[in-house]
Amino acid sequence: MYFIVDDDPDDQELFVEALQGLDEFCKCETAFNGQDALDKLNKMPSVPDFIFLDLNMPRMNGKQFLAEIKKAKTLQDIPVIIYSTSTDKKDILDTIELGAIYFLEKPNRFNDLTKALSNIISRKWQ
């Protein structure tokens, strides 16, 4: 199962479509901000395989959410991939320091997104 945290419904829809293009049977959950994501994660019977996390969101942004889940025993080991329009080196360094395993700049083309997601989900993360 994949969990997408992004405040833009269009981005969520494209992301889910790209993942389902790679695996038609994959299950995707979504949240619109960090607080929404925490609430949903705490109610899920099992943790997702990956969390794809946008940075710029209302209520609780991506960095705040990442810091929160890394404090929680049941959530801290979920691999988090940052998925953002930001290209700021500080954002990249901050999120890696907070525990993200990868930083993906949002591609402009759907095919590029699908290719990037294929590489991410097939990779063996340590």
pTM: 0.92
Give the tokens for residue 117.
């997601």
Per-residue pLDDT of 22-43, as tens digits, reads 888 889 999 999 999 999 999 9
> For all residues of the chain together, what is the average pLDDT?
92
126: pLDDT confidence band, cut at 50, 70 and 90?
A: low
What's the topology of domain 2-122?
Answer: Rossmann fold (3.40.50)
Q: What is the DSSP letter of 107?
A: P
- So where are the chain's domains? 2-122
Q: What does residue 58 show for φ and ψ, rounded to 5 degrees?
A: -75, 170
Residue 18 has pLDDT above 60, yes or no: yes
With 70 as the cut, is the pLDDT of residue 3 above it? yes
Under 8 Å CB-to-CB from 91, ≥6 apart: which residues?
Answer: 55, 63, 82, 84, 103
Q: What distances in angstroms separate CA 64 from CA 9, 81, 99, one per listed residue?
A: 21, 14, 12
Q: Quick one: average pLDDT of 94-98?
A: 94
Mean pLDDT of 91-99: 93
